[in-house]
């Protein structure tokens, strides 16, 4: 699915795949991946100017906007162009909502951008899921109170199937 | 703050002091009792985990993953022997005995051996850590429950700040052995869970049952062995300048790790419930590691470059906490 997300960004998905990805994007995890991919893309293109907390600030200001309850003026007869404009605006708004939702659902957009920046500083080939450093986990576990409480159980972290939970 | 001149009249100030002292006098025994109760539960669990014989099936959940393994624990003449075998996927194995921990990775043909210190034989918390426990976590005894067919009692450590995870434990009613342990993030989501689905406690266990499935190291396997070089504490020359409140340094040393050319500095900080490890190595020895965050269940790791060094911090704490520690590592 992650590969399909990336292909969607590149605009080369067929209709059937598009349907599937759109349905999958309802899951918060997929939305987070989507947002993260964009952050990485921005960083790789050299325009990582999103400041941490930007989304949260915009969301807060949107939430603080007063709701206008005044009656709308009656339209003076709709013209085709106006209808088209309304439809376009609605589409744009929808895209905007999806975009903001995606960003606000990531654990922290600032982290995603920071990670993307770091990734860009290395090479794009290194942007891949990586497991915990198992040798360090082994050393750490000996000193953790979790080992005193649960014995050998926490060592499962060191022998668990490779890969981390959070996939970029 | 200056104690010299104050705009408040002396009388009001004295009243304030009396109120504060009175409040502290009322609350202090309460919090002390709460800290003692929390510590008693943890000590009982640790003693049970160490001194009982038990055999059971463990389900380890992290993220969307579920893995099952078989656990066998033997206590004999003051010595502990443990065997943990993955039942799903590659038949990886952990053998923990008095002197060392051995991890077998048959899929990769690797054995990792880590010497054990005597640290966890005496897991009791220092008075400082006891105090930190209830200062940074709200402790309460929750509902009774039934886990793996056994009567259990739930206990909860809820963090008072965003710098640590919440913990919920289900302790066996009779022995205190933890039958289930859960880590919870700030959104109330379970990030990691260890739970017995079946367990037999206090049965007879033979040494045969806790032996590794492989005798020694198979000839075509790779042996990766750590040194016991950190048995003696020493000054590594590294400090953490922005340590989250409640964490105190419990160990510091320099050790040689397999696969690392140069010795690695290792510092451990604990808030009484969890620990965070700081590793500092020369960049030359850190080939293959990528800066950034990695998470698996309740464990977060963050790596970053620091001049010609490479810093890796990991522990059972949220990503932001681990990151804060990593980014504030400095020369003493």
How distant is the Cα of A70 from the closest Cα of chain B, in angstroms? 38
Longest C-alpha distance within chain A, in Å? 77
Q: What does the pLDDT average to over A104-125?
A: 40
What pLDDT, on a 0 to 100 scale, did the predictor assign at position B63? 83
What pLDDT, on a 0 to 100 scale, did the predictor assign at position A114? 46
Q: Is B228 an 8 Å CB contact of chain A?
A: no
Does residue B2 form part of some domain?
Answer: no
Does residue B3 form part of some domain?
Answer: no
Under DSSP, is residue A144 helix (H, G, I), strand (E, B) or coil? coil
Same domain, yes or no: A56 and A106 = yes
Question: For residue A160, which residues of chain B lie inside 8 Å, CB to CB?
Answer: 60, 62, 65, 67, 296
Same domain, yes or no: B209 and B236 = no
In whole angstroms, give the CA distance from residue B295 to residue B28: 38
- Residue B97 neighbours by CB distance under 10 Å: 17
Domain range enclosing A158: 132-168
Same domain, yes or no: A165 and A103 = no
Q: How many CA atoms lie within 13 A of B260 on its CB side?
A: 23
- Residue B94 neighbours by CB distance under 10 Å: 26
* Residue keyed to tokens 């009001």: B12
Nearest Cα residue in chain B from A144: B275
pLDDT tens-digit series, residues B266-309? 999 999 899 999 999 988 766 666 788 898 999 999 999 998 89
Does residue B155 form part of some domain?
Answer: yes
Which of B205, B225, B245 corresponds to the end of one domain?
B225
pLDDT above 80 for B201: yes
Q: Please tell me which of A18-27, A34-43, A69-78, B258-267 the model is most confident about, judged by mean pLDDT.
A: B258-267
In whole angstroms, give the CA distance from residue B114 to residue B137: 32
Which of B209, B225, B241 corresponds to the end of one domain?
B225
How distant is the Cα of B218 from the closest Cα of chain A, in angstroms? 18
Does residue B5 form part of some domain?
Answer: no
Looking at chain B, the whole-number percentage of residues with pLDDT higher than 90 is: 60
Same domain, yes or no: A101 and A44 = yes
Q: How far is CA B301 from CA B39, B315, B319, in A?
A: 28, 7, 7
How distant is the Cα of B84 from the closest Cα of chain A, in angstroms? 7
Does residue A147 form part of some domain?
Answer: yes
**Residue B174 in contact with residue B144, Cβ under 8 Å?**
no
Range of lowest pLDDT (A55-59, B95-99, B167-171): A55-59
Same domain, yes or no: A98 and A155 = no
> CATH number of the domain that B120 lies in?
2.50.20.10
Contacts 24+ apart (CB under 8 A), B249-252: B250/A143, B250/B275, B251/A143, B251/B119
pLDDT tens-digit series, residues A124-147? 333 334 688 888 888 898 888 888
Does residue B110 form part of some domain?
Answer: yes
Same domain, yes or no: B161 and B251 = no
Segment 92-151 of chain A within 8 Å of chain B by CB: 107-108, 111, 115, 118-119, 121-122, 126, 130-151
Question: For residue A148, which residues of chain B lie inside 8 Å, CB to CB?
Answer: 46, 49, 120, 123
Same domain, yes or no: B281 and B291 = yes
Structure tokens at B146: 């039934």
Same domain, yes or no: B194 and B240 = no
Q: Between A131, A138, A156, which is nearest B60 by CB?
A: A156
pLDDT above 80 for B129: no
Same domain, yes or no: B28 and B161 = yes
Share in percent of chain A as helix, strand, coil (round to 5): 65, 0, 35
Does residue A72 form part of some domain?
Answer: no
Q: Of the candidates B24, B43, B204, B200, which has an alpha carbon nearest to the alpha carbon of residue B120? A: B43
Does residue B312 form part of some domain?
Answer: yes
Same domain, yes or no: A95 and A168 = no
Handedness of CA B45, B47, B48, B54 (dihedral sign): positive
Exposed (0-12), middle (13-18) or buried (19+): which is A71, by Cβ within 10 Å? Answer: exposed
Same domain, yes or no: A32 and A91 = yes
Same domain, yes or no: B212 and B236 = no
What pLDDT, on a 0 to 100 scale, did the predictor assign at position B118? 55
Same domain, yes or no: A159 and A112 = no
Does residue A28 form part of some domain?
Answer: yes
pLDDT tens-digit series, residues B225-278? 876 554 456 788 999 999 999 998 988 888 877 666 788 899 999 998 999 999
pLDDT above 70 for B173: yes
Does residue B287 form part of some domain?
Answer: yes
Handedness of CA B66, B67, B73, B78 (dihedral sign): negative
- Name the average pLDDT for chain A: 61
Which of B225, B241, B265 corresponds to the end of one domain?
B225
Q: How many domains does chain B have?
A: 2
Q: What does the pLDDT average to over B29-52?
A: 89
What pLDDT, on a 0 to 100 scale, did the predictor assign at position B250? 87
Domain range enclosing B317: 227-331
- Per the CB < 8 Å rule, is A152 touching B82? yes
Same domain, yes or no: A118 and A159 = no
Same domain, yes or no: A143 and A112 = no
Same domain, yes or no: B161 and B248 = no
What pLDDT, on a 0 to 100 scale, did the predictor assign at position A90? 53
- Name the average pLDDT for chain B: 87
Question: For residue A145, which residues of chain B lie inside 8 Å, CB to CB?
Answer: 42, 123, 125, 270, 272-275
Under DSSP, is residue B195 helix (H, G, I), strand (E, B) or coil? strand
Does residue B4 form part of some domain?
Answer: no
- Per the CB < 8 Å rule, is A146 touching B119? no
- Per the CB < 8 Å rule, is B84 touching A145? no
pLDDT tens-digit series, residues B75-106? 999 899 999 999 988 899 999 987 789 999 99
Question: For residue B303, which residues of chain A lie inside 8 Å, CB to CB?
Answer: 133
- Per the CB < 8 Å rule, is B60 touching A160? yes
pLDDT above 50 for A54: yes
Q: What does the pLDDT average to over B38-62?
A: 94
Same domain, yes or no: B212 and B235 = no
Share in percent of chain B as helix, strand, coil (round to 5): 20, 45, 35
Q: How many domains does chain A have?
A: 2
């Amino acid at each position: 699915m992650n590969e399909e997300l990336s292909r969607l960004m590149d605009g080369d998905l067929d209709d059937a795949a598009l349907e599937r990805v759109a349905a999958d994007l309802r899951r918060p995890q997929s939305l987070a991946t989507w947002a993260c991919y964009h952050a990485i893309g921005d960083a790789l293109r050299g325009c990582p100017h999103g400041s941490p907390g930007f989304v949260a600030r915009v969301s807060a200001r949107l939430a603080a906007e007063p709701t206008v309850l005044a009656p709308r003026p009656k339209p003076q007869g709709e013209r085709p162009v106006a209808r088209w404009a309304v439809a376009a605006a609605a589409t744009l708004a929808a895209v905007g909502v999806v975009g903001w939702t995606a960003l606000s659902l990531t654990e922290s957009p600032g982290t995603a951008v920071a990670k993307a920046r770091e990734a860009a500083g290395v090479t794009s080939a290194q942007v891949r899921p990586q497991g915990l450093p198992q040798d360090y986990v082994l050393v750490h576990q000996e000193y953790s109170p979790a080992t005193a409480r649960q014995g050998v159980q926490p060592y499962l972290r060191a022998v668990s199937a490779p890969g981390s939970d959070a996939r970029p | 703050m200056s104690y010299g001149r104050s705009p408040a009249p002396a009388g009001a100030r004295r009243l304030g002091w009396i109120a504060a002292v009175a409040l502290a006098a009322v609350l202090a025994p309460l919090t002390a009792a709460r800290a003692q109760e929390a510590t008693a539960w943890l000590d009982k669990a640790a003693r049970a985990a160490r001194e009982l014989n038990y055999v059971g099936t463990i389900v380890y959940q992290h993220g969307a993953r579920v893995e099952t393994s078989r656990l066998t624990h033997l206590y004999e003449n003051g010595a502990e022997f443990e065997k943990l075998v993955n039942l799903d996927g590659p038949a990886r194995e952990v053998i923990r005995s008095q002197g060392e921990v051995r991890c077998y990775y048959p899929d990769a043909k690797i054995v990792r051996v880590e010497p054990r210190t005597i640290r966890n034989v005496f897991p009791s918390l220092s008075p400082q850590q006891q105090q930190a426990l209830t200062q940074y976590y709200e402790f309460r005894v929750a509902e009774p429950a039934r886990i793996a067919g056994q009567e259990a009692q739930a206990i909860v450590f809820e963090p008072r700040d965003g710098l640590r995870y919440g913990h919920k434990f289900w302790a066996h009613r009779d022995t205190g052995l933890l039958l289930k342990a859960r880590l919870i993030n700030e959104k109330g989501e379970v990030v990691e869970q260890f739970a017995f689905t079946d367990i037999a406690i206090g049965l007879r266990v033979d040494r045969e049952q806790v032996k590794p499935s492989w005798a020694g190291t198979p000839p075509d396997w790779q042996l990766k062995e750590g040194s016991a070089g950190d048995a003696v504490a020493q000054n590594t020359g590294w400090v953490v300048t922005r340590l989250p409140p409640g964490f105190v340094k419990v160990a510091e040393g320099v050790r040689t790790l397999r696969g690392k050319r140069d010795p690695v500095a290792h510092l451990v900080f604990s808030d009484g419930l969890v620990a965070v490890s700081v590793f500092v190595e020369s960049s030359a020895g850190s080939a293959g590691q990528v800066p950034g965050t990695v998470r698996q269940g309740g464990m977060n790791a963050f790596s970053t470059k620091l001049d010609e060094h490479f810093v890796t911090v990991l522990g059972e704490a949220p990503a932001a906490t681990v990151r804060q520690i990593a980014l504030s590592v400095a020369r003493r």
